[in-house]
């Protein structure tokens, strides 16, 4: 019997929001081995006719990723998209200053759009507002989305792509507040540029949706004034504001690391408040939604990256090998995003393949699932539908940076069409947690399945040689009795409770 006890009440009347499927987006940047050696490896035995690895496409499909941000990231702030279209043999090799790598341009936007289609995903395209501006942003929208009869749309057709790509979501640059960014700007400079670029891009294609850059993180000194100033300029022209965050267990403090998602929660609340402050100031009826288009754990590879030789094609950069504890943090971050589904419409796990990624490959060799693959795959495949407000009563703890951290992090998602209620839950405690769920309002509730991801060693990882060291298991689940489900969540575990309703 567990000493730790938590309770939840789940009622279908308390609807928070319908999840936007794009909350399960991801990200492929021209960085490290994400493209070259990741999705694209023409010499690989599993490569298809376009040079894309079929095994990687299959794993992406398993993750069920509806939208993929591309081509950066920091990379986009120095990128000339025209270098990546047209005959491959005529494409220039460029220095990528963001990652001190060589960009051979063998994969560009047309190839990526083709890959995304094969992976059942949409492209979320970023434009370069670092070294470039309104003119180039206008041209790329015309190339991608205009049917034909103009210079840039006819160039696309000349390149063999008769039908427009119809790319709906566009990012107005990337992390423009960061000193590491090529062409960094002040909030006023960026806000004005984003406003004008947005205006012109929508004149080319009024159906597109635009994401303005929020701060690169909540710890940068200009946060949240950056958000306020950018929106004071561009509120009417843009649809989303971006958020980025990464966490790491740098000092080996598990309890503190597991509480990281409380910081993410506070970050989201502050950005929502700032958006709504500008809305009030402008007397506007429009709501700005959030695009949390970079989130993950990122710290394992920081030191190794300093040793990587510059100016290579596809160098091994940002290759974090994820532990069981990282999977718990990713699970808590997913739950946090879902708890804000009323404002977070788009989110991108950064990234997708090899670079701080759920999917790893060896050049010419096998591919495998990292620990963080599983919480993402479970949520993306099973937690679709309506997020319900569900008060949690849980014992709490304090850690170095956080107070009142609940041992139980959980969110219910009701898939009405499938007749299923899914409860995603993380037990942050180093002992089992007895959870009692009151399923009022679901008179026909019947328990179906309890999936658990845990491991006796929180530092356990999946590798090429041991790809199944950390894998989910099914546990027996008791019946729903008098409208209540009682279940034990193992110590330090990610849980998916599936209930037929
Ligand atoms: O995802 C890796 C990098 O992190 C991205 O290029 C950048 O936007 C962020 O700083």
Average pLDDT, the chain: 97
133: its two tokens: 């501006």
Atom of ligand 1 minimally distant from the CA of 27: 1
Q: How far apart are CA 55 and CA 65, in angstroms?
A: 15
Angle between the N-to-C axes of helices 324-339 and 373-382, in degrees from 0 to 180, rounded to the nearest 10: 30
What residue ranges of the chain have pLDDT lower than 50? none
For ligand 1, atom 8, the nearest C-alpha belongs to 73
CA–CA separation, 345 and 169 (whole Å): 12
Q: Whose CA is nearest to atom 7 of ligand 1?
A: 73
How remote is the CA of residue 299 from the centroid of ligand 1, in Å?
A: 12
Which pLDDT does position 50 carry in this prediction? 98
d(Cα 469, Cα 459) in Å, to the nearest integer? 11
Question: Is the Cα torsion angle 37, 379, 211, 201 positive or negative in sign?
Answer: positive
Ligand 1, atom nearest to 74 Cα: 6
pLDDT tens-digit readout, 24-63: 999 999 999 999 999 999 999 999 999 999 999 999 999 9
Nearest Cα residue to atom 5 of ligand 1: 73
The binding-site residues of ligand 1, defined as CB within 6 angstroms of any ligand atom, are 29, 72-74, 174-175, 216, 294, 350-351
Report the interhelical angle of 187-204 vs 225-234 (nearest 10°). Answer: 40
Question: Alpha helices, DSSP H only, in 282-431?
Answer: 302-305, 324-339, 373-382
Pocket test for ligand 1, best of 350, 352, 353 (most atoms within 8 A of CB): 350
Rounded distance, CA 45 to CA 48, Å?
Answer: 9
Quick one: pLDDT at residue 382?
A: 98
Q: What is the 73 CA–ligand 1 centroid distance (Å)? A: 5
DSSP of 90-114, one letter per residue? GPPPEEETTTTEEE--SS-HHHHHH
Active-site residue list:
175, 294
DSSP designation for 471: -
Per-residue pLDDT, 1: 59
Q: Whose CA is nearest to atom 4 of ligand 1?
A: 73
Identify the residue whose C-alpha is closest to ligand 1 atom 6.
73
C-alpha span between 347 and 343 (Å, rounded): 11
To test the ligand 1 pocket, which listed residue (244, 297, 320, 356) has its Cβ within 8 A of the most ligand atoms? 244
pLDDT of residue 204: 98
Ligand 1 centroid to Cα of residue 401, in Å, is 24
Element (H, E) at 190: helix 187-204
Instruction: Give the distance (Å) from ligand 1 centre to CA of residue 72.
Output: 7
Report residue 231 CA to chain centroid gap.
23
Q: Cis link prior to 409 (omega < 30° from 0)?
A: no
Q: CA distances (Å), 178 to each of 77, 133, 183, 214, 298, in order?
A: 11, 18, 9, 11, 17
Dist CA 496 CA 378 (whole Å): 7
Q: To which residue do tokens 């977070």 refer?
A: 344
Q: Whats the size of the chain, residue-wise?
A: 501
Q: Whose CA is nearest to atom 9 of ligand 1?
A: 73
Assigned token pair, 88: 């491959």
> Is the bond preceding 272 in cis, omega lying within 30 degrees of 0?
no
- Report pTM: 0.98
Q: What is the C-alpha to C-alpha distance for residues 451 and 50, in angstroms, rounded to an integer?
A: 37
Beta bridge partners of 420: 415, 500
H/E stretch holding 275 reads: helix 260-281
**Cα 246 to averaged position of ligand 1 atoms, centre (Å):** 9
CB 195 within 8 A of CB 229: no
346 beta partners:
291
């Amino acid at each position: 019997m567990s000493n730790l006890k938590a309770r939840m009440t789940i009622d279908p009347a308390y609807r928070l929001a319908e999840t936007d499927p794009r909350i399960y987006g991801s990200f492929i940047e021209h960085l490290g081995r994400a493209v070259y050696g990741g999705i694209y490896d023409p010499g690989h035995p599993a490569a298809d006719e376009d040079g894309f690895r079929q095994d990687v496409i299959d794993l992406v499909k398993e993750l069920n990723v509806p939208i993929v941000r591309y081509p950066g990231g920091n990379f986009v702030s120095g990128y000339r998209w025209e270098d990546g279209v047209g005959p491959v043999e005529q494409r220039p090799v460029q220095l990528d200053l963001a990652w001190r790598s060589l960009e051979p341009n063998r994969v560009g936007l047309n190839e990526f759009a083709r890959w995304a289609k094969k992976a059942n995903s949409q492209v979320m395209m970023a434009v370069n507002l670092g070294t470039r501006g309104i003119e180039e942003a206008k041209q790329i929208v015309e190339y991608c989305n205009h049917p034909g009869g103009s210079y840039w749309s006819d160039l696309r057709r000349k390149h063999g792509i008769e039908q427009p790509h119809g790319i709906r979501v566009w990012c107005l640059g990337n992390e423009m507040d960061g000193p590491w960014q090529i062409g960094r700007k002040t909030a006023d400079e960026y806000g004005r540029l984003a406003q004008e670029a947005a205006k012109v891009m929508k004149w080319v294609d009024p159906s597109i949706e635009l994401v303005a850059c929020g701060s690169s993180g909540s710890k940068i000194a200009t946060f949240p004034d950056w958000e306020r100033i950018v929106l004071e300029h561009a509120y009417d022209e843009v649809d989303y504001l971006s958020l980025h965050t990464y966490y790491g267990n740098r000092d080996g403090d598990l309890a503190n690391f597991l509480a990281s998602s409380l910081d993410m929660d506070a970050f989201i609340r502050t950005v929502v408040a700032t958006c709504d402050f500008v809305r009030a100031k402008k007397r506007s009826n429009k709501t700005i939604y959030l695009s949390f288009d970079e989130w993950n754990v990122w710290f394992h590879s920081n030191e190794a990256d300093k040793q990587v030789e510059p100016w290579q094609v596809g160098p091994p950069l940002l290759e974090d090998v994820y532990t069981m504890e990282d999977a718990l943090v990713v699970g808590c971050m997913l739950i946090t995003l879902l708890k804000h589904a009323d404002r977070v419409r788009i989110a991108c796990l950064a990234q997708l393949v090899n670079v701080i990624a759920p999917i790893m490959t060896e050049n010419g060799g096998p591919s495998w699932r990292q620990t963080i693959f599983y919480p993402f795959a479970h949520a993306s495949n099973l937690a679709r539908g309506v997020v319900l407000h569900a008060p949690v009563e849980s014992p709490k703890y304090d850690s170095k940076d956080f107070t009142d951290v609940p041992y139980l992090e959980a969110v219910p998602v009701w898939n009405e069409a499938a007749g299923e209620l899914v409860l995603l839950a993380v037990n942050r405690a180093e002992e089992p947690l007895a959870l009692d769920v009151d399923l009022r309002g679901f008179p026909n509730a019947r328990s179906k399945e309890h999936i658990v991801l845990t491991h006796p060693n929180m530092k356990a990882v999946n590798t090429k040689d041991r790809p199944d060291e950390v894998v989910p298991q099914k546990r027996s689940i008791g019946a729903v009795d008098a409208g209540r489900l009682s279940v034990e969540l193992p110590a330090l575990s990610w849980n998916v409770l599936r209930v037929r309703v």
